Structures are given as structure tokens and as C-alpha cells.
Structure 1
Amino acid sequence: MVRSTGRLRSSLSMILNVGRIALLVILGSIITLQAPLAQDDARAGSYGDFEQRLQRIVNGLRADTAAAPPMKLADRMNELRVPGVSIAVVHGGIVEARGFGYASIGGPPVTPETLFQAASISKPVTAVAALALVQAAKLDLDGDVNLSLKSWKLPANSFTDQSKVTLRRLLNHSAGITVPYFPGYPAGAPIPSLGDVLNGASLLCRGLTRLQRSAHDRSALCGSANTAPVIVDHEPGTRFEYSSGAYTVVQQLLIDVTGTPFPTLLEDLVLKPFGMTHSSFLQPLPKNDTPMAATPYRATGEPVPGGPHIYPELAAAGLWTTPTDVAHFALGVVRAWTGRDASVLSQATAIQMLTPGLGNYGLGPIVLGVAPHRRILHAGVNDGFVSLMTMFENGDGAVIMTNGDQGGELANEIMRGIAVEFDWPDGQPKATLTSGPPAVARH
């Protein structure tokens, strides 16, 4: 699947290392899944041909070597305790989507309309909104962001005296910003404001969380944030360091510049224009949408207590969506990149977005390959959700979303099968990642 496996592993290792990815084999009872196939088409295409190809994929999953025996999707879901998987495959710009397993054990099956938390796939979606504002001359890509931030500013220090934090550096993770990931807030926990998240909690206060002090006691002493302050801890522009805190600064920046709530702004600038009709940045998910949402599950097979975590860090981790919607988004981005669609981003803006900086990271997604086989990719991990997106410049790609903590390994195997079936460049098993989930970024 990947032309330069070594470069991919190198560029993704930093992202993989920011999150706790479960690699242990959990012993005990196995939940039996029937993995029903949803019959809905996301978009009309060659139905029979796609069904045949999909069945070959799900009945012949393989590990990272060609010699590995084929595995069935339902068996792998049982082994990894991943109750549900939603898959969108894009071939020639046509999106086909199917669901397997269950949105909630004992509940409804996964369909193409089942909602999942996209986690860090929120980042490239946010990046498009920011670049649309740059394109409209409402933001400066290379100016000091503190000149545009109004309700909160990055604390100045010796590092910001040397080089300024810019929107470009925030988007490509080279701004020197702290806080690699956000754990979210479980049911019943106080939800901090965006300002509280940016100001963060002291080391002492975070220690109270580890000591399992009550949420009320901790909030009274420290405020409700459960992560460190977002600050600059090394000179901006000198190295790639994955930072969800950087995208939280972008969230505040977009709100300050436009005066518009972030979910509304993203709906207007990105979700509606790209046809993402089942997507929202509202956190928590509105009650009328919760019946469509998947339940997240831990690696043990137990549901996340209280249901999905809430992420006020919307730009970094807050998107609820479907693989079909993410596929439409990725298609829109690569079409702008190749000059086929300038309805949201001009080709010039898209080229800036998808020019790799440090760590093979563009302004939003990872960018790999050389023409005519360039592609964008990103992935994400929220508590109980793992997702993976990749799209080639010719309009071939896939999006996989799961509701289990071990969904990364499964997504890797499915993506490998899609790559082989649809003859992606270097799509043979030997060329894919060999350990752990692929391209997984914990919000």
C-alpha cells in the first residue's frame, strides 16, 4: 500500500507514541458476533461487482506478510473484541459503504449511517476550515497567532521570543506546543470551557486525578481541565512534535476571528460544502442523534463506562461522523489538490495544505508518495473508537471506523485487504505497517 514503508513508519511512529495503544492479548470469554452485512448503498455504483470484491476482502484478511493465512472479518472482530466496523471504499471517485457487527452489543447493527467519534481525523477537517479563512483573507497563515487571538493568548516565553507561533506551524505540528493528546471527559464529569482546557491543570491537580479524588473536590481545587496547560516548550519551527494542544489553539483562533461557535463555523465552511450530512462537531452529541451513535468498547470487551467521552477539544478530537462522510471530505480535498474542484479550497491553497513539512505532515493530514500516486492519510483514537482514512490523488481510498479499543489492528488488516483488492500502489501485504494500529493518532 505504501511506496516508502520506512518513511511511513518513521513519520507515524511519533504519532503512535503519543497514545496508549493496547498491544496485550486479553484472555477470557469472547463475545460472539455475527457481523451482519448492511445492505445500504452510500452511493449508486456497480453493486454486484463491489459486493464480490468486498466479500473477498472480509473473507481473506491477512497479517503483514503474504504467507500469513487468510482470516475472516467476523473471527478477527471476536478475537480483538471489536463489536462493530463501518467501511467506506472509494474507487474512481465512487463511494460504497457497508457496516459489519453491532453499534452496541445486543443492539442495532452497524450501518453506513452509524455515527462514530473520528478523534484526530477532526484535525484535517479543522485545517480545511482554517485554510478557507486564510483564502478569504481573514487569517494570516504565517503571522503571529497571538495578534489574532482575543479571548486567550499563548503565554510568551524565551522560545516565542526566538520564533513566533503561526497558523502554519500549528497545523503541521511544528509550533512547539505541548499536550499531545486529550483523554476526554467521562459521563458525569465537569466539562471545562475551552479557556480552561487551554489554561490547563497544574501537575498537582492532575495528581489528584490519579489519586482518584472526586470530580467535585478536584474541580473546586483546580478547575475542571484534566490535561496540562497548552504552552510552547521548544522553539517553534524547529521540529515536528504531534500536538493536540496546537489544534485547540486553532479552535480558539477560529472562534475569535469569526465570532462564530466552532460547530456552526465548521458546518458552514466544511461539513455542508463537502456533503457531510451525517457529521457534527457538537459535544456531547444531541439526544436526537444518540440512537445513531455507536457505543465505545474497551480492549476487554466491556463498554466504556457511561458511554462516549465528551471532548470540548473539538478541533483536535470532537467530530462525530461516518466513513462515507469522511470519504466525501477526503475526496473533496484531493480534487482541490489536483485542480478538479475549487468550491471549498483553491488548488493553490490545497497545494499549500498538502505540501509535507516536518515529519511528512502537511497542514492537517499526513502526505506520502510521489505523483501520480500521492495520498493523504490520518487516523484517530478516542476512548473506545479507532478510525483510519487514506485517499489517493486519483480518487481511490478508504475510511474505516470501529467501536473498539483494538480496532487499529483490525483497520490495518482491512485496509491491507482493500489495497490488494483494488490494486493500490505497493498494496501488497509486505509493504504495510508491521506492528500495531496503522497511522493511529490519539487525539
Structure 2
Amino acid sequence: MASLCAAFGAVIVVALPGVVDPRAHAAGDDREKRSAAVLQELVPSADGPGCAAAVGRRGDVVWEAGKGKADLVTGRAITSKTVFDMASNSKQFTADAVLLLVGRHRLALNDPLSDFLDNPPAWTRNVTLGDLMRHTSGIPDYQDLLEAKGIKLTDPAGQKEAIAAILASQPEGPPGTRFSYSNSNYVLLAHVVEKVTGTPFPTFLQQEFFTPLHLRMTLAPAVDVPGKAKSYDEKDGSFTLNSSPWKQYGDGSIQTTPGEMVRWADNYRTGRIGGTALLTGVTEGAVSVGDVLRQRGIEDGRYGAGILLLPDNSLVHRGDWEQFHSTFKVSPDRNTAVTVVCNVDSPDNFRAANQLLDIWTK
């Protein structure tokens, strides 16, 4: 959830599933030590909240670690097995669910949103599913809409309330003309998947992605799943719990570890789920995000199917919800992936992810 910014010639060896490529440790402890140093810089002290990180190579986890506290009350430490809310890094699963249905001819990206609503407002006839997926719908963010109605982040609110607020609004500009990141788009896409399949969206993801790929993931908004870290605000060295009862999905709420995220990333190489059609759909028609990423030195990021395509052909996305902050990145050749996630506002987990990718690809 949250905004996109505050929300971002080798020998081929085929590795068996679950077996680490022996070449991954060819550099021995050097890569591991350098990776540990990146985490140490990101989390200097283990006494407060912290971060976990993982690196995957062709579907195998070659390095993972955690530092800091997952729960300040119990003193439980962050480890490689600690679960985090991946926030907007969940959007890629929603987009890929739509692409699966496109591949099965159950819907098309040029279908109007109105086709999937019982009592569609007139403006929904001009918004396509592709507009939703690439954030060019012009629809305002439901978080802002709910808060404008007096519903605070500490008040209960779910999918029904979010969709009602969205449909009572109007696009802020002509659909299909300009990139404007909005969580509303992905809440609506999850609704479309449910409408088409007759299956609850969390169940659809479990059946189509998590179970076939043997991923330990769940879509569970506002739920303390086993092993999950707590989220903390920090002020002047003091920490307070940050937790919201909002239960929207499609835009966020995947609960998992960094290691599982980098295992998932290998689908961008193999197309095991969705095949060539999904791999093509991930970046096909990607739209320029304009100046949104220039503060990070990225001149022309393009938004595709729940993921950003950078000029060097790498994939990246940020996630920010409560005080969970994640960065997910896949190398240009799709062989290597990194995920860094923290349970407190970190100095720069985006930079840490780039450093880790450099360590394991050069």
C-alpha cells in the first residue's frame, strides 16, 4: 500500500528445485560477509526493530539474514524466518492473477471496469482493466477517500467500504492519459478477479500461485499470522506499536518472508505459472512514471503489471504499510532477486537492495 516513492554471456546451469547452485558460494564467505555488512549498515543495533533480507539465484535462496527485534515486548529477534507484511509488493500477484485470466480468455485488459460491477457509475465505462493495472485510471486513492469521510487508519474498514468510496468518487483526469499511483486500482482488480472466478481472492492466489510454487505465503490483511513481526513508529529513540485494522486487499497484505519473495521472483524467469503470455504481459504496455523516481536517480521507470521496469531491464517495487517497508528487485537477466524488508522506517532499504544485488551479480 502507500505511494510508489514512500511505497519501488554466462554458462547456464540448471539447478534442481530447492538445491542451491554450488557456484553461488564460489566467492565463499566474501559475498556472505559483504552482504552481512550491508545489513549491519542498515541496522546498526540489534536492540530495536530492524530488517531482514534475502538473495535468490534461479529460485534458490543463496543468502538470507535478519537483525533487530520482531517484537519489543517479548524480545523475539528478527531472523530469516520472520514474516512481514509485504505491503505494495503484493500488487504483482494481483496483476499476475489478472494476466492469468487474460491468458485463459476470461477477460481482456481493454475490458471496461463497468463490465464487472453490478451498478456501475457512468465513468467506469471509460476505465479499462489495463488502466487499473498500470495506474492510468485517474481514480483517487481509497485511503484518501476514506480519511476524507472521517474513517481513520485506526478505525475498522474493509474491502466493501473501500470500493463504495471509490465508486462514489470520480477520476481526477481522463483515464489512460497519465500515470498516477493509486491503491484503488488494485482493490478494484481483486474485485474483478473475484467477480470472474467466483472465488475469494485470497483463495485464488493460494490455488494458482502459492500452492503450485510451494511458497509459504498468505494473503491476510490485519492478521497476526504466526511468526510475524510487529510494526513500530520511532520518535527520538522511542518506539510505539503501529497497527491498523483496515482489511483491504489486492493492493497489499501478502504476509511472508524475504526468502519466499526471492523464490517467487524466479517465476519472472521461468514463467512456470502463466507461461510466455504472463511473462510478456508483465512488461507489455508499461507506461512511463515520469518524474516519480528521479529522486532515486532513475530517469525513466515504466510501470507494468504490478511492477516497475527500469531502463536496465531490472524489475523493482517498493511496499510501505504501517511501518513495514519492503524493496523487491529482480536483475535484468532475471537470474537473481533480492528482497529487503523492515518493521520500522529504515534509512534506505532501496539502497540496501541495490547493494545486495550488486554483490551477488558481479
Match of 1:312 in 2: 247
Return the match for 1:95 from 61, 68, 80.
61
Q: Which structure's residues are more often strand, by fraction?
A: 2
Work out which of the residue numbers 302, 308, 323 in structure 2 matches 1:366. Answer: 308
CA contact (8 A) 1:112 1:323 kept: yes
SS at match of 1:263: helix
What is the aligned length?
327
1:89, CA displacement in angstroms? 0.6
* Cα distance, 1:99–1:253 mapped onto 2, change above 3 Å: same
- Deviation string, structure 1 residues 22-73 (Cα, Å, up to 9, x no partner): xxxxxxxxxxxxxxxxxxxx864558656431212332x4xxxxxxxxxxx4
Separation in structure 1 between the aligned mates of residue 311 and residue 41 of structure 2, nearest angstrom? 33
Partner of 1:107: 75
Q: 1:401 aligns with which of 341, 344, 361?
A: 341
Alignment partner, residue 213 of structure 2: 274
The amino acid of 2:352's aligned partner reads: I
CA–CA separation in structure 2 for the residues paired with 1:309 and 1:199: 20
Tell me the residue number matched to 1:57. 35
In the TM superposition, 1:225-240 aligns within 5 A as: 231-240=170-179
- The CA distance in 2 between the partners of 1:110 and 1:176, in whole Å, is 39
Counterpart-to-counterpart distance in 1, 2:28 and 2:117: 48
Q: Name the residue aligned to 1:214.
A: none
The alignment yields a C-alpha RMSD, in angstroms, of 3.0
* SS of equivalent residue, structure 1 residue 398: strand
Deviation at 1:81, TM superposition (A): 8.8
Paired AA for residue 43 in structure 2: M
Task: Using the aligned pairs only, state the percent identity.
Answer: 23
**What letter is aligned with 2:261?**
V
Q: Could you tell me how far apart the structure 1 residues matched to 2:344 and 2:28 are?
A: 26
SS, match of residue 233 in structure 2: coil
Match in the other structure for 2:51: 85
* TM-score, length of structure 2 as denominator length: 0.80
Distance between the aligned counterparts of 2:335 and 2:219, measured in 1?
26
Give the secondary structure class of the aligned counterpart of 1:317: coil
Give distance in 2, aligned partners of 1:303 and 1:78.
16
Q: Which amino acid aligns with 1:138?
A: R
Q: CA deviation at 1:309?
A: 2.4
Deviation at 1:362, TM superposition (A): 0.6
Q: After superposing the two structures, state which structure 1 stretch, 237-246 or 294-303, moved more.
A: 294-303
Distance 1:196 1:304 in 2: 28
Q: CA shift at 1:304, angstroms?
A: 4.5
Distance 1:334 1:165 in 2: 31
Q: CA deviation at 1:92?
A: 4.5
Q: Kindly tell me: are residues 84 and 51 of structure 1, through their superposed partners in 2, closer, same or farther at Cα, counting changes over 3 Å?
A: farther
Aligned residue in 2 for 1:197:
162
Q: C-alpha separation between the residues in 2 aligned to 1:331 and 1:375? A: 13
Gaps of 5+ in 1: 1-13, 20-41, 62-72, 201-226, 425-443
User: CA 1:180 to 1:366, structure 2 compared with 1: closer, same or farther past 3 Å?
Assistant: farther
Q: What's the offset of the Cα at 1:195?
A: 2.2
CA distance in 2, matches of 1:134, 1:239: 23
TM superposition shift of 1:78: 4.2
